[in-house]
Amino acid sequence: MTTRAEQFAGLSVALITPFRDGQVDYARLEEQVEFQIQAGVTCLCPVGTTGESPTLSHPEHREVISAVIKAANGRVKVMPGTGSNSTEEALELTRFAAQVGADAVLVVSPYYNRPPQEGLYQHFKSLAQAVDIPICIYNIPGRTGRNIEPETFFRLAEFPNIAMVKEASGSLDQVSQLTTQTDLTVLSGDDSLTLPILSVGGRGVISVIGNIVPQDMIAMIRAFEEGNIPEAIRWHKKLFPLARDMLGLSTNPIPIKAAMRLLGRDSGELRLPLTPLSSDQENRLRKVLADYGLLQ
């Protein structure tokens, strides 16, 4: 199967942004990058939803992008989030990412202002004409308030560097429309739907739980690609409770940051308006991690 951005097939990880005492912890961020590179991931995606981009200042947003690109040093691809509900702001961040060496950009659909489909088309058209690097459109209507309809994707696919879609609409019908009527590289935006999306032509995932179990996600994708469907299903059945029960505890990235704290890989610190898990939620998280085999 050949899609437009096959080099991004596989596991991309939506990195957290580690904080300490209210500031970005760049030393810990470099550790996260190294952890993922050693696991063998395809791509790193900083400053997205999982990276708490809504509460990063503009200078911090740019600094985190630059820090991840520098730490990766060409060993894996880097696809930072550069989206905004303001087209001008998205243009500024996208141009910056291209200038500092990003391999692609992940651009969420404009949120809150709920543009019509024509507005969505014009927004992404502006970005496609501004840079040469591949663009991955992130469709997550549960957060943005607006689904990017398949017909809009068909129009956007006319731009060669609109190469990928991170699909988090929850609709396999929509994914199937994209994989059967375009050559866009479709990546799952929901960990629990990764295998179903692969089964209808998806090429990988931009993962949250990949922050803690990247090798297992890679194993599932590899098994599917090698045609070992029973093995892929076995991995799906192991990973699914982790994705469902951990990420279902609270808003992303609250649970994954708590999990990383329990595993000794992050402080777990969040920025308001995000707040930590309750003690009851954390006890449930401990059980999920223990059942998976990550905690004693």
Task: Write out the catalytic residue numbers.
Answer: 138, 166
Count other Cβ atoms within 10 Å, centred on residue 193. 22
The residue type at 17? T
- Please provide the distance, in angstroms rounded to a whole number, between the alpha carbons at the two ends of the chain: 42
C-alpha 35/C-alpha 263 separation (Å) is 13
The DSSP-derived string for the chain is: ---TTGGG-EEEEE----EETTEE-HHHHHHHHHHHHHHT-SEEE-SSTTTTGGGS-HHHHHHHHHHHHHHHTTSSEE--B---SSHHHHHHHHHHHHHTT-S-EEEEPP-SS---HHHHHHHHHHHHHH-SS-EEEEE-HHHHS----HHHHHHHTTSTTEEEEEE-S--HHHHHHHHHH---EEEESSGGGHHHHHHTT--EEEESGGGT-HHHHHHHHHHHHTT-HHHHHHHHHHHHHIIIIIHTSSSTTHHHHHHHHHTTS------TT--PPPHHHHHHHHHHHHHHTS--
